[in-house]
């Protein structure tokens, strides 16, 4: 089959490229994930989309293709909270595991999925391992009150390979956005998603509307889905794609700042998380508010 006809549409540069309808976008990415195209075509697809940018309609089509190929986790007894973790820690400690543990303490099953996309950052699996939580090696049900880490390659090996293209060409591709909106669970679940730049807030929100998602969207910490411990970000909810504003962003830093670790290594981060979970340090207010909003949304699923 090949995807050359699609590359001709999306590869005409920023001003000349044409957006694909949802069905064609799904077919394009489906062929890429199924290994039906050459490495040269994959490179052309990634570069063309990086220059053109993805429309919400295209992202919805890419979402359709991924969802059809995921190994889905069985439904849990309670709605599952899904936390994608792909950016890791650069300057700030990686507190996605703290968010996961706080939600699990409330009795919810929590799925953290991810894979390293850059070699220079601390990845979530390192922090989770320091907390005694090891990666799953098989697809299985997550118990209430459990934090499960499932590597992307277990959910969809082809998606992992597409993410790894970044290591060759040095640029992100649609897979890096897809992993933040996909839902690897059967049964009721809430996807917590984040963006780094304001333009992605618009496109991701429109994609959630098109895909009728159950999701919480916020500007996270260095691309992670956990709220910045120093600030109160805007948070939006999507229930069956219907959007509502849960939290208005507060300008500047919070009046009371948490005593975060001075380094971002896994051991220091894990020690801080353990001290918060033990009540020795307070939960950062923005993360506590994020937990409150998630607990409010779960019964609506």
Q: What share of the chain is helix, strand, coil (3-state, %, to 5)?
A: 45, 15, 40
Structure tokens at 253: 């830093």
Question: Could you tell me the pTM of the whole model?
Answer: 0.95
Residue 100 region by backbone torsions, left for phi larger than 0, else alpha for psi between -120 and 50, else beta: alpha
Contact 221, 215 (CB under 8 A): no
What is the chain's mean pLDDT, rounded? 94
Question: Is it true that domain 80-300 has CATH number 3.40.1030.10?
Answer: yes
- Tens digit of each residue's pLDDT (9 = 90 or more) over 14-73: 778 899 999 999 999 999 999 999 999 999 999 999 999 999 999 999 999 999 999 999
DSSP codes of every residue in 29-92 = HHHHHTT-S-HHHHHHHHHHHHHH---HHHHHHHHHHHHHH--PBPPPSSPEEEEE--S-BSSS
Cα-Cα-Cα-Cα dihedral of 83, 86, 89, 92, to 10°? -50
| pLDDT-derived band at 235, boundaries 50, 70, 90 | very high
pLDDT tens per residue across span 121-177: 999 999 999 999 999 999 999 999 999 999 999 999 999 999 999 888 888 899 999
Pick the CATH number of 4-69 from 1.10.260.40, 3.40.920.10, 1.20.970.10, 2.120.10.30: 1.20.970.10
Residue 1: what pLDDT? 63
Write out the residue limits of the CATH 3.40.1030.10 domain(s) in the chain: 80-300
Residues of the chain with CATH 1.20.970.10: 4-69
* Cα 248 from Cα 234, distance rounded (Å): 5
Burial class (CB in 10 A: 0-12, 13-18, 19+), 229: buried
How much is the CA Rg of the chain, to the nearest whole Å?
19
- What pLDDT sits at residue 115? 94
Question: HSE of 121 in the Cβ direction (CA atoms, 13 Å)?
Answer: 20
- Residues contacting residue 290 through CB under 8 Å, at least 6 positions apart: 99, 216, 218, 226, 227, 235
């Amino acid at each position: 089959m090949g995807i050359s006809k699609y590359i001709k549409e999306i590869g005409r540069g920023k001003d000349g490229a044409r957006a694909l309808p949802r069905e064609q976008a799904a077919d394009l990415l489906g062929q890429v994930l199924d290994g039906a195209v050459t490495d040269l075509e994959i490179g052309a697809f990634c570069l063309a989309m990086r220059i053109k940018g993805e429309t919400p309609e295209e992202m919805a089509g890419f979402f359709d293709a991924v969802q059809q190929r995921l190994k889905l986790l069985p439904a849990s007894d309670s709605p599952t909270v899904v936390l994608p973790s792909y950016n890791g820690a650069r300057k700030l400690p990686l507190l996605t595991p703290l968010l996961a543990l706080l939600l699990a303490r409330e009795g919810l099953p929590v799925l953290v999925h991810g894979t390293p996309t850059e070699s220079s950052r601390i990845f979530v699996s390192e922090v989770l391992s320091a907390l005694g939580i090891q990666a799953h090696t098989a697809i299985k049900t997550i118990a209430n009150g459990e934090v499960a880490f499932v590597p992307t390659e277990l959910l969809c090996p082809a998606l992992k390979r597409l993410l790894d293209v970044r290591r060759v060409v040095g640029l992100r591709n649609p897979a890096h956005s897809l992993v933040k909106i996909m839902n690897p669970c059967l049964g009721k679940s809430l996807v917590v998603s984040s963006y780094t730049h304001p333009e992605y807030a618009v496109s991701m929100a429109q994609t959630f509307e098109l895909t009728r998602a159950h999701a919480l969207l916020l500007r996270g910490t260095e691309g992670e889905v956990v709220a910045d411990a120093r600030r109160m970000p805007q948070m939006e909810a999507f229930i069956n794609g219907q959007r509502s504003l849960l939290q208005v962003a507060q300008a500047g830093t919070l009046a009371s700042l948490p005593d975060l670790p001075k380094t971002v290594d896994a051991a220091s981060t894990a020690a801080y998380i353990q001290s918060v979970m033990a009540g020795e340090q307070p939960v950062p207010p923005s993360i506590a508010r994020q937990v409150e909003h998630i607990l409010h949304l779960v019964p609506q699923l």
